[in-house]
Structure 1
Amino acid sequence: MSEALKQDYVVCEEIGRGRFGTVFRCASAESGDFYAVKSIDKRVISQGDSLDAQCLFTEPKILTLLYPHPNIINLHSLYEDDTHLHMVLDLCNSPDLHQRVVSLRAIPEREAASVMSQLMQAVAHCHRLGVAHRDIKPDNILFDNQNRLKLGDFGSAEFSKEGELMSGIVGTPYYVAPEVIAGRDYDEKVDVWSAGVVLYIMLSGIPPFYGDSATEIFEAVIRANLRFPTRVFHSVSPSAKDLLRRMLCKDVSRRFSAEQVLRHQWITSFEEAIATG
């Protein structure tokens, strides 16, 4: 563990573990405030894919660019030693969206609208600054102890200059946009598609496109045959279904942008209802 890190923060218990590193809870030696420190083992990455090595250094750059935003995991400090890169991040120790969907099966529309509004505020901020997240899914939608959404894990994110397209198959089968699977160049609207899948799952408890293998899932995504089975969508409003059609639109030119999602009546009506109590 970096000596500079240990001078500035008291590192506490392990709270998570991933492919390349470990996450610990830590406390600022100066203020006593709690954070998470993500310690990434550079040796493991150097033995693997060069893309992984690139992500190691891209993620801190992107988080620095996006800082600060209330709905994005904020990078507070960065340390590096011979073997590890240590990122001090917002602490999100409430259940993530994946855990919430599993426990609730389906999320009420009012709560789902609040989650989607916060998520799309984060995505719109990314897109305004030329960043595409490229791996939006419930596991990466975190919550702090005030129940405020924090979009996390920018390891697959990419800089996306206006008018320039990205390439490369990146993402998670259920959530990846059809143009990515098809091997075409794509823009930041892949994030809107992924967020649309997240919304569909929140409202129904099931994914919109599925199969028994990654190949079958990809084939279903490319077909993009969006349906609303009555058994799970019988109580979902027409307005929510309209927004889903606009987010899960195979034609990218007609697919909503993040800003358009935020202006949709399904989002704004719930925001107005919450504001007026």
Structure 2
Amino acid sequence: MKPLRIKHPNIVSLEDIYESSTHLYLVMQLVSGGELFDRIVDKGFYTEKDASMLIQQILDAVTYLHELGIVHRDLKPENLLYYSVDEDSKIMISDFGLSKIEGAGSVMSTACGTPGYVAPEVLAQKPYSKAVDCWSIGVISYILLCGYPPFYDENDAKLFEQILKAEYEFDSPYWDDISESAKDFIQHLMEKDPNKRYTCDQALQHPWIAGDTALDKNIHESVSAQIKKNFAKSKWKQAFNATAVIRHMRKLQLGTSQEGSVQNTPTSPCHGTLLVPGGDSKNGSPCEECSLPSPHSPVQTEQNLLTNHSHSCHYSNRV
């Protein structure tokens, strides 16, 4: 098996492979700077400009992937790691366990990703393209500027409905001090129609990224408070395959799949050609009790429709 060598300054690289009769050992680049949310919370000063610089690095890396025909399919904050503990450390994209190489004539239709970050066309069970990564970058940008997800509800059915309709708002007071340019940038990426959605190249040309419209006002207090309230570490460890979600979406009549059978999310990082592997299980990790309050009202613990576990962590359960 010949690995596909991915070399980019903002992507965790696969350095080497060793194979025995029973095991395949993957040697990954050392990334020691910690997770994105932890760094933001620990900062004493954080601005739109900081968020813009982070998103620019992500866009550069995803542009590189898309040029290679690779779709990540699971971009989210917990897959963004800092290279080192240095104050000016670069951000790195990790966890390619759900990534897919676009082949000639091939069509992606497997439901995978993380509900809070997955594009509407994936939930609608329509064929999709690399535009799903651009949607996810829009969701990440939204969170980086307010500290909470654009889609939230106690009920999974309503959560899916919001995403399918691309229903989100820039709530007051959380967005009162955020520039119109930032909101415009997000709206172009979180566009329901993938054909109208910004590509990575277009996003890189937006004035919020390439210009000087990102504000220098300190928004750390508000953003970090919401991150601590809405994203606890225990919520980042949930992993589920696509089958359960499709089953429940059919029950909820939220999908219109034409496929005769449902594929499981691949549990191997290889997908035929070896990419940079992910860091967590893709076939289900132990569930932990958690709750996820929205910026408006607390979310009560309920029966999660995606699994048989009882918790209300909608935003980080992997589909």
- Residues 194/163 of structure 1: CA separation in 2 closer, same or farther (3 Å cut): farther
CA deviation digits over 1:69-117, x for unaligned, max 9? 1011111111122443221112111121133355569952111011100
Task: State whether residues 80 and 92 of structure 2, in contact with CA within 8 Å, keep that contact through their aligned partners in structure 1.
Answer: yes
- The two structures have a TM-score, normalised by structure 1, of 0.71
| Cα pair distance change 1:271/1:219, threshold 3 Å | closer
The aligned residue for residue 173 of structure 2 is 231
The SS at the match of 1:142 is strand
Q: Calculate the aligned-residue CA RMSD, in Å.
A: 2.6
Q: Which has the higher strand share?
A: 1
Percent identity over paired residues: 37
Greater shift after overlay, 71-80 or 240-249?
A: 71-80
Secondary structure in 2 aligned to 1:229? Answer: coil
Check if 1:140 corresponds to 2:140.
no
Equivalent residue letter for 1:177: A
Q: Retained in 2: the 8 A contact 1:101–1:205? A: no
d(CA) in 1 for partners of 2:179 and 2:215?
15
Code of the aligned partner of 1:76: E
Indicate whether 1:99 and 2:38 are aligned: yes
Residue segments in structure 1 that go unaligned for 5+ positions in a row? 1-56
- Given the alignment of the two structures, is residue 204 of structure 1 paired with residue 204 of structure 2, yes or no? no
**1:248 matched to 2:190:** yes
Provide the secondary structure at the position in 2 that maps to 1:153: coil
What is the SS of the residue equivalent to 2:61? Answer: helix
Distance 1:113 1:152, change over 3 A: same
Encode CA deviations 1:106-139: one digit per residue, 9 max, x unaligned. Answer: 9521110111000000100000110000000001
The number of residues matched between the two structures is 213
Corresponding position of 1:165: 107
- Give yes or no for contact 1:177–1:190 (8 Å, CA) kept in 2: yes
Aligned to 1:50: none
Structure number with greater CO (CA < 8 Å, separation at least 6) is 2
- What's the CA shift for 1:162? 6.6
CA gap 1:247/1:258 in 2 versus in 1, 3 angstroms: same
Q: 1:270 to 1:85 in 2, by over 3 A?
A: farther
1:217 aligned onto 2:159: yes
- C-alpha deviation, 1:213, in angstroms: 4.3
Alignment-mate amino acid for residue 131 of structure 2: K
Name the one with the larger helix percent.
1
Matching residue of 2:256 = none
C-alpha deviation, 1:220, in angstroms: 1.5
- 1:112 aligned partner: 51
